[in-house]
């Protein structure tokens, strides 16, 4: 279980928006509009930065975190010595994964997970590309590998309606 409001908000945003760890470190207080439920995502690796709707669940987590946030200027996710760094976030994730009994996974796996979950939920590859900030849809195709559950679902539909 993730123990702090900051970490719950941090990892929820990383997962829900398919953020790279460094993209999470770029978030500022100005990027989050809790009143209008929007968040500005700054993409790296030549990705497309954009404003996205802020899911109510994430807004709730952010409000809980901001009530206890250590003030460190403009950065959204902070620690005792300023904004969280990439390595600190990776170490936090590793610690939580270990407590949960999960081995062999990294924070970046959350980005892969949301992509696969969106595809399995029936979203098109174009939507997933936009969600991840990919300019080139070829970069998104890696996530479109056929999963066992999707393969079984498609086969069951075909079997019902030959």
Residues 37-86 pLDDT 10s: 999 999 888 777 889 999 999 999 999 999 998 776 899 999 888 889 99
**Residue 45's pLDDT is what?**
83
Residues 119-145 pLDDT 10s: 888 888 899 988 888 888 888 887 777
* Tokens describing residue 19: 């953020």
**Residue 66's pLDDT is what?**
94
Q: For residue 64, how many C-alpha atoms fall within 13 Å in the half-sphere facing its CB?
A: 15
Asked whether 73 and 34 are in contact (CB, 8 A), the reply is no
* Tokens describing residue 7: 């970490």
What b-and-e string marks burial along 108-146, b requiring 16 or more CB atoms within 10 Å of the CB? eebbeebbbebbeeeeebeebbbbbbbeeeeebeebbee
CA angle 121, 61, 10 (to 5 degrees): 75
**Residue 150's pLDDT is what?**
64
Q: φ, ψ for residue 136 (rounded to 5)? A: -110, 120
């Amino acid at each position: 279980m993730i123990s702090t409001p900051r970490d719950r908000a941090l990892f929820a945003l990383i997962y829900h928006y398919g953020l790279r760890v460094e993209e999470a470190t770029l978030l500022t207080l100005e990027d989050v509009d809790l009143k209008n439920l929007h968040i500005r995502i700054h993409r790296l690796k030549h990705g497309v930065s954009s404003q996205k709707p802020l899911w109510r669940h994430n807004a709730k987590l952010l409000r809980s975190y901001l009530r206890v946030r250590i003030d460190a200027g403009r950065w959204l996710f902070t620690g005792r010595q300023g904004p969280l760094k990439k390595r600190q976030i990776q170490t936090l994730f590793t610690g939580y994964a270990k407590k949960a009994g999960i081995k062999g996974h990294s924070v970046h796996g959350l980005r892969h997970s949301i992509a696969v979950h969106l595809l399995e939920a029936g979203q098109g590859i174009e939507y997933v590309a936009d969600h991840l900030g990919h300019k080139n849809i070829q970069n998104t195709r890696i996530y479109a590998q056929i999963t066992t559950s999707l393969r079984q679902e498609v086969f069951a539909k075909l079997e019902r309606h030959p």
